Structure 1
Amino acid sequence: MPSLKRFSERARTDPRHIAYDLLPVLGLPERGGVSAMIAALKPKTPDFAPSDTARGLCQALQQDGLTPVQPAIPGDVINEVVDYFKATPCHDPFRPQVGTFGWDTPPADEINMGYYTAEETLRAPHMLDLMNRPEVLQVMELRLGCKPVVDNIGAFWSYPQRHTAKGVQRFHRDYDCVQNIKVFYYLTEVDDDAGPHMFVRGSHHDRILETGKAQTDAAITEAFGADRITAITGPAGSWFLEDVYGFHKGQLPVNKPRLLLAIQYNLYASPHCPKAPLMDNPGGYDPYINRIFLR
């Protein structure tokens, strides 16, 4: 939580910061009640009839905060998406002075990750379909209690042979919304040497280490036990859903780069999404679910 002065300044700059900054203080017990009240006022899908698969994934989210890894999306889709990102220059938002660089040629060893902007991610082949997969949207509506809003999208490379974890490579909670779920797509194969995503099962139910700050591996292990820390591996194109209030991080890759796509579904817009839509809706995509990114 920022100081009162900083809180006021951020709220005046962008009202979306109000909920974002309050959530670490609001606390877990209130989180569920607040999200239910917000969801009650939001649109629902008429005659909503989720599949058994969607119900199973939602149950896993509620219980563990994480679903099992799901079967890979088609290889031709993955190939086109990966080719697009390899042809698009990356950047490091924490080192803007280095400019853009090729996906496999980061200009400095201290660059752990090469990022793509939200607009670059949005314009990737098949991206609108990946954002609007029916089974994913069904899970989101079941979990959130209303139609979701696609709030935050991004893709980035994680580079091997780095010695210090930075940013999202440290255990943290996401405070973007009182209730938000992400789908993670492995766009490259991820094994134990390629920086698997790590999640602490059940930590979305627990306020332990509720500080709003990143935590060390040792602190997480002491608080939750090593047996609850799960490393998620899978082939290129595999995906899983996660309640990102639970502690999570991307492990440092050992000897293979990793390309990850993350799509977030919220009850409302967070400070991490664009203030105005980035492109026209080509048709066929729910205007409410996609309203942050599509006109």
Structure 2
Amino acid sequence: MQRSSTPAGQDLEAISRNGGVFRRMASRIPTYMTDLRENPAWLPMFLLARTIPFRKAHWLTAKPAAIVSRTRDSMFGDLKADAIATELKRSGIYPGLKLPNAIIEGIARFARETPCFGNFDRKLEFLPQDHQEAERLFRRAILSGHHYERVLKCDAAIAVQQDPLLLEVARHYLGDGAKLITTRTWWSFPTSSPSDAELSRASFKFHFDLDDWRMLKFFFYLSDVDEEAGPHVYVRGSHNRRRLKHQLTLLVGHPAHEVVGFYGQQNVMTLTGGAGTGFVEDPFGFHMGTPAKTKPRLMMEVGFGVSKPSRRRFHGEPVVR
């Protein structure tokens, strides 16, 4: 995997613009209310897990991982879960994962042949190779295409989800109660005319995730990703230190100049690499996806947490159905 520092210049600032943030928050209120009705414990997590003192208090409840003998081999070879967890505790990210070719080919084939949903909207359904035609048909820029629950029909994706190393790392890092909460695949598409509102989505600005008190996410590129194909960006060390201003707000996304200025340019990692490149991160650290500029990016995520996942909607789906 290739890693590089990312300049805090005009490109990142354009990605990190704040336009329409209050409209987006207002549009999520029905989803938040339904989350609360389904799981009353969601509200204290949503309000308090963004603060370092309450997060540290919750981490104290984590039970050490019990020593369990592995019953089958991992597709990732002899990587040590405890060593990966140690690096995660230090920097928030471990970039040394690699998928086997057969798994890459299996997931990529599924993703090419399975219709996806554009811009998190189930009304925008199309095959990925028909992206430009879909933009003309739906008369809007389409930056992403998610498969949602359809990924659970992909044997290669399930093999990654169930690989013993992933759960071992999660248990060593999050504690013995770590559990699988998300599996998803999605496309990021280059488009010639994205609107400011589309580019100002939280995923395209520095942000942190608040899906749970304690989280861990594995990411895998299923296509070659260079600087022009929407690489993932992570700020090392930002998972365990947080500017007070970034704790005392309901916003999770913040401008690039604020994030880079406080946490340091030297800690900003841009992750590029060939198909199969993988990394695992604590998503409470500041991170972002960047828009694909010249070619589509196919990506997979497997996430772990300590609380029960939502029953109503698939991960990443921002609407109440």
Per the TM superposition, whether the score is higher than 0.5 is yes
Alpha-carbon shift at residue 127 of structure 1 (Å): 2.4
Question: Who is 2:226 aligned against?
Answer: 191
Match of 2:146 among 102, 115, 125: 115
Structure-2 residue corresponding to 1:136: 166
Q: Deviations over 1:124-183 (max 9, x none)?
A: 122222112222222111111204210012111111245552341221111111110000
* Aligned counterpart, 1:30: 54
* Preserved contact between residue 54 and residue 139 of structure 1 (Cα < 8 Å): yes
Percent sequence identity is 25
Q: How far apart are residue 13 of structure 1 and its match?
A: 4.2
Q: Secondary structure at the match of 1:178?
A: coil
- Per the alignment, residue 17 of structure 2 pairs with none
Paired residue for 1:61? Answer: 88
- Whether the 8 Å CA contact 2:92–2:285 is kept in 1: the answer is yes
SS at match of 1:240: strand
Cα deviation, residue 22, structure 1: 2.4
Q: Give 1:91's aligned residue.
A: 117
1:104 to partner: Cα distance? 2.8
Counting matched residue pairs gives 265
Q: Aligned in 2, Cα 1:234/1:177: closer, same or farther, shift over 3 Å?
A: same
Whole-angstrom CA distance in 2 between matches of 1:10 and 1:115: 21
Pairwise CA RMSD of aligned residues? 2.8
User: Contact 2:81 / 2:165 at 8 angstroms: preserved in 1?
Assistant: yes
Shift of 1:276: 9.8
Could you say what secondary structure the match of 2:218 adopts?
strand
| Cα distance, 1:80 vs structure 2 | 1.3
For residues 1-295 of structure 1, the aligned pairs below 5 Å read 10-15=35-40, 17-24=42-49, 27-37=51-61, 39-40=62-63, 45=66, 47=68, 53-70=80-97, 72-92=98-118, 94-97=120-123, 99-106=124-131, 107-108=134-135, 109-117=140-148, 119-161=149-191, 163=194, 164=196, 165=199, 166-208=201-243, 209-210=246-247, 211=249, 212-271=251-310, 274=311
Q: TM-score, normalised by structure 2?
A: 0.74
> Does 1 or 2 have the higher relative contact order (CA < 8 Å, sep 6+)?
2
TM-score (norm 1): 0.80
Mapped partners of 2:119, 2:252: distance in 1: 19
Q: Tell me if structure 1 keeps the 8 A contact 2:103–2:157.
A: no
In the alignment, residue 36 of structure 2 is paired with which amino acid? A
Structure 1 portions without partners, runs of 5+: 278-295
